[in-house]
A and B are shown apart, each in its own frame.
Chain A
Amino acid sequence: MFYNESTLKKAGIDEPPATWEAYYEAAKKIHALGDDYYIAQDTGDIFFLLSLIWQAGGRPFKVDGTKVRIDFTDPGTTKAVAFWQKLLDEGLINTKITGWSDDWNRALNDGTLATQTMGGWLTSTLPERAPKSSGDFRVALMPQWQQGAKTGAANGGSSFGIPAAAEHKEAAFTFLEYFAHGGGLSTRVDAGAFVPNLSVLDNEEFQGKANPYFGGQKVGAVLAEASEIVGDGWQYPPFFEWARSIYGDLASPLYTTGKGSLAEVLEQWRQRCIQYGNEQGFEVS
C-alpha cells in the first residue's frame, strides 16, 4: 500500500492503517478533510477487488486442466466484497476518478487521493505522476484482515509466451530466459522497472537503497516483504483477459447509479464467464 503521509497527518492519522478496520476509520477521517479528499478511488477495478479477495483467503477460481470452477460465495470472498461494498455505500471511495487517467495523476499529485493499494510496480511511475508530492509518499504492507496477521496478495501480473507458429522457438526461449532470469534483469532494473524476481528482491542493494522520492524510505525492503507474504494457491481462469474486459460493462451501472451490489455484479460476471468458457470448449461451472 502506497500512502501519502502528509495527507494522513492532516487527517490526524499518525500511522498507516494496519488493519482494514483501521483503513475504514482512516477513510472517514480523510473524507472529512473535504469533498475532494478520499482514501482511494475505484471505478470498477477488478484487479483491486480480486487482490482484496485473495488476501482475505477467498479463492474464487479453481482451474484443473480445462475444468474451471467459479464461486464468489466462499467466506473469504464474501468478507472482502462486503467490506468494500460498505466503503462504497458510505461514499468513502472516489468513484469519479479512474486509475491511470490524467485525473488520477492530478489527484495523486495534489494529495487528495491518500492511498493506493497496488502492485510494487507503482514505485517506478509514481514520481512522474505525482512530482509535487515528492517526499510525501511512503510504502507499507497491505492492511490486514486480522490484527497482527501478515498476509498479502498480488495485483495483476504479466506473462510472456511463445506462439505455436513462431519460427525460432529456441531463440525466443533463450531470449526470454535472458530477459526474465538472466543478465537482462539488471538492464530492466537500472531503467527503473520494478521486476518481482527473487534475485532482485533479495538483493541487499535493492533492499537497502533509500529512495528520495519516498522521503528516504528503504522502499525495496517493504516490497520484498510484501511479495514474500502473498497468499498461496490463487488461480486465474484461462480466459481471464476476456473476462476482465467485460467486467467493466457489468460493474459500470453500480458505480454510476449506486443501485445493485458488488455481489450481484460478481454473480452476473460469473454467469457470463460460464457461458463464454463453455462456448470456448472449457467445462465451466
Chain B
Amino acid sequence: MAPTPKRRRSPIGLAFIAPFGTLFALVFVVPILYAAYLSLFQDKLVGGNTFVGFANYVKLVQDPQFLDGAGRVVWFTVVQVPIMLFFAMALALALDSMRLHGARFLRVTIFLPYAVPAIVSTLMWGFLLGVKYGLFGSLNRALGTDLDPFAPGTTLISIGVMVTWAFTGFNMLIFYAALKAVPRELYEAAAIDGAGEFQIVRRIKLPALRGSLVVTIIFSIIGTFQMFNEPQILPSMVANSGVTTFYTPNLYAYNLAFTGSQQGYAAALALVMAAITIAVAYAVQIRGLRNADR
C-alpha cells in the first residue's frame, strides 16, 4: 500500500501569491484598518483628537439622519433592483432569441449608457426632466399637467430612472453571456421533443440564468447602497428637490468628513454601511447558490 503523498509547503508558493497579497493588503486591508482606527477617535475643532472608544458607533445607531439615509437606500434597492433586472433579463432573452434584426447594434446601444459617467448622466437627466426649460416642462405645457420629477416626493423615482437607464445594459450583458454559454444542442433537442419558444425559455434559459442573477443582484445591491453621484449633483441643478446632506449614507459620510470635520464619525458610518452591505450580499449569495444547486 503506497503512502498517500504528503502535501509539502514550499516557500516558493508564497512568492506566487505575493503580487496579489501585496496589492490586496495595500488597497483593501490597510485602508479598512485605518478607517477602523479613525472611527475610534473624535477630532474636535477645539480640543484636538481624543480616543472615544465606540462612542461614534453608539451615536451612529441613534442618529436619525443616518437611519433616514440608510432606510432610503434600502427602500430604493427593494424597488429599483427588481425592475432593472427584469428589464435586463427581458432584453437578454430578446437578444438571444436570434429573431431580432440588428442585434449587435442593439446590444451596444443598450450597453452604452453604462459608459456614461454618472455625473454626466445626472446633468443630462436633470436637463431632460427639468420643469422650467427641460423636456418635462414642454410636456407639462403641452398636456396642461403640473408634474415635477424633482419634487421631494418624486426625486427618488427620477434617480431610479437614471440608475436603471445606466445599469440595465451592464446587467443585460451578464445575462446574455450566461445564455451564450448554454449549448445550442439543448435547444435543438428541446425543439425535437416538441417544446415551444416559451417552454425553452422557462425550462432551459431561465434556470441557466440563476447563477448570474445572484451575481447581478449582489452587484446592484452594492451599487445602490453606495449611491452618491446623483444626489450630490442634483441640488446644484434644481432647487429643493428634497435631497438633503444626509440623503444617502455615502453622501452623509462625505458631508460629515469634508464640511463637518467629523472624520472619525464618518469612518464609523462607512464601516457600518460596509458591514451591512457585506452581510446582505452574503445572505443573497448563500440563498441564491443553495437554490441554484437544487
A contact residues vs B (CB 8 Å cutoff): 43-44, 66, 95-98, 100-103, 106-107, 238-239, 241-242, 245-246, 248-249, 252-253, 255-256, 276, 279-282
Contact = CB atoms under 8 A, between A and B. Distances in A.
A276 B261 CA distance: 11
B237 interface: yes
B245 interface: yes
A96 B261 contact: no
Contacts of B131: 96
A280 B45 contact: yes
Interface string B248-261: 00000001000111
Interface of B: 44-47, 127, 130-133, 151-152, 235-240, 242, 244-246, 255, 259-261
A242 B261 contact: yes
Nearest to A45: B239
Contacts, number: 75
A252 B244 contact: yes
Given A97-B132, A245-B245, A246-B245, A43 B260 contact: no
A281 B45 contact: yes
A280 B132 contact: no
A101 B235 CA distance: 9
Contacts of A106: 132-133
A31 B261 CA distance: 43
Nearest to A279: B44
A246 B252 CA distance: 11
Contact of B152 (A100, A101, A256): A256
B240 A282 contact: no
B245 A96 contact: no
Nearest to A241: B259
A43 B131 CA distance: 16
B46 A102 contact: no
A100 B244 CA distance: 18
A282 B46 contact: yes
Contact of B235 (A241, A248, A276, A279): A248
A242 B46 CA distance: 15
B46 A96 contact: no
A96 B130 CA distance: 11
21 contacts: A43-B239, A43-B240, A44-B239, A66-B46, A96-B131, A96-B132, A97-B132, A97-B239, A98-B236, A98-B240, A106-B132, A245-B255, A245-B259, A246-B245, A249-B245, A252-B240, A252-B242, A253-B152, A255-B240, A256-B240, A279-B44
